[in-house]
Structures are given as C-alpha cells and as structure tokens.
Amino acid sequence: MTKKFPKEEMYVLTPQIRRATISITANIAEGYGRYFFQESIQFCRMARGSVNEVLGHLYTALDEKYITRKEFERVYKNGREIERAINGYIDFLKKQKENFK
C-alpha cells in the first residue's frame, strides 16, 4: 500500500508505517521467547500499540488521499481483527499465568 505514496513520504509516513507493522510480529515473537507470562503480556501490549499506530497513520494516508476509502476500510478492519487476536492471546496468557501460581 505504501508503495503508491508520493515520493515526499518516502522518509516520513512510509517508513513509520512499515516499522510499526514489523514491530507487531517482532514484539509478539520477542515476548514469546521470554518464557515468562508477564513479559509476554507486556510485549503483546506493545504489539497492540503498534497496531493502533498503524491505524492512526491510515487516517493520515486517507486524509492526504494517498489511499481510497475502500483501501482504508479494508486495512482498518484487518487491523481491528489483529487487535482482537492480540487481546485474546493476552487473555490466554493471563489465564495461564494464574494456573501456574
């Protein structure tokens, strides 16, 4: 999606969106590798923050007409689904943490 942004966004909005999207999976993976429930939960919270960062940038892209309303709605919907999945994983981790006390 960012490949069609104007050249002047090459060093501003485009890399911010790309870094935030990469950060989502990177934080989940890093949290998983910590082997402690609370740390995993914290990294998932950071991943959730990155999802919302991307969604915020989508509003900018829409306002600047870099993307269409249809593109916005599709990606926004996917982002909210990812956020729900992360929230479900956080709930799972909290339950697991309680079971190991």
pLDDT digits (tens, 9 = 90+) for 12-26: 999 999 999 999 999
Domains of the chain listed by start with CATH number:
10-99 (1.20.1440.60)
Place of tokens 């999207």: 21
The predicted-structure confidence for 74-94, as pLDDT tens digits, reads as follows 999 999 999 999 999 999 999
Rounded to the nearest 5°, which phi and psi values hold at 55?
-60, -35
CA-to-CA dists, residue 61 to 24, 30, 48, 53, 57, angstroms: 20, 29, 20, 13, 6
**pLDDT at residue 71, as a whole number:** 97
What is the C-alpha to C-alpha distance for residues 60 and 58, in angstroms, rounded to an integer?
A: 5
Instruction: Give the model's pLDDT for residue 100.
Output: 86
pLDDT average, residue stretch 27-39 = 95
pLDDT at residue 101 greater than cutoff 90? no
